[in-house]
Amino acid sequence: MSDAFKFDCELRKRAGTGGSRAVRRDGWVPAVLYGGDKEPVNIKLRYNQVLKAYQTNRLIDVLSIINVKDTNEEQQVIGRDIQVDPVKDLPMHVDLMRVDAKTRVTVNVPMHFLNQETCPGLKAGGVLNIVRHEVEVIASATAIPEALEADLSSSEVGDTIHISAVTLPKGVELTITDRDFTVATIAAPSAMRSSESEEGEEETPETEVINEKSDDDEGEE
């Protein structure tokens, strides 16, 4: 909880496009707060705080806290959606969901690959091919893991790392349960692939072309 990102928050009186533009001009980001046993409300968040959270990937699917002005109320929330400027890639609107310890949410959690510096396959020149940078899981809203970790300390060239090799934190479940899907592979380096390809090719015998004389040539002296 101590690491949760905190946003200054105020209620937003005007909704709609005009109200949102006015909010942005004043250095805020318009947002909607919903979920729990309360009605949705229009709020606004400090722009610099939202921008920092967005740029550090701590806005969507991450537990945060909003401090609502004049109410001395702190509310645990999770960012569920964000609208960004298509040209500037800057946050323009945020959807926040109220949560508590009983709330279970579906989120995407980053994959981290440990011990790459000691991985036999990578030391031999192999290449880490990440198939899934994120994995979708179901977890308690107040205990969302920062990442899922795969240990590469014994992985060789040609190995496939499946999700079954990843230890899930307590209370975390995969949304995909019908197969042991791949999260990464240790691919052979291009030089090794080229060598193996050449060795596997069969030699093609040369064909000798015999120039036979044509009927016209036979008639010539």
What is the tens place of the pLDDT at every residue in 169-189? 999 999 999 999 999 999 998
Contact 190, 197 (CB under 8 A): no
Residues 192, 198: Cα–Cα separation, whole Å: 10
| DSSP H helical ranges for 102-154 | 120-123
Q: Which residues on adjacent β-strands are paired with residue 81?
A: 95
Q: What is the mean pLDDT of residues 14-18?
A: 79
CATH 2.40.30.60 correct for 105-195: no
Q: Which residues on adjacent β-strands are paired with residue 173?
A: 138
Residues 96, 142: Cα–Cα separation, whole Å: 14
Q: What is the mean pLDDT of the chain?
A: 87
Strands 91-98, 73-84: pairing is: antiparallel
Q: How confident is the model at residue 202 (pLDDT cuts 50, 70, 90)?
A: low
Strands 63-68, 41-46: pairing is: unpaired
Provide the residue type at 203 as one letter.
E
Q: Which of 51-55, 89-93, 115-119, 191-195 has the lowest mean pLDDT?
A: 191-195
CA distances from 132 to 112, 153, 187 (A): 10, 19, 15
* The residue to which tokens 């909003």 are assigned: 66
Question: Model confidence over 62-71: pLDDT tens digits?
Answer: 999 998 876 6
**Domains 5-99 and 105-195 belong to one CATH topology:** no
All structural domains of the chain with their residue ranges: 5-99, 105-195
Predicted TM-score of the model (pTM): 0.75
Most distant CA atoms of the chain, gap in Å: 116
CATH number of the 5-99 domain: 2.40.240.10
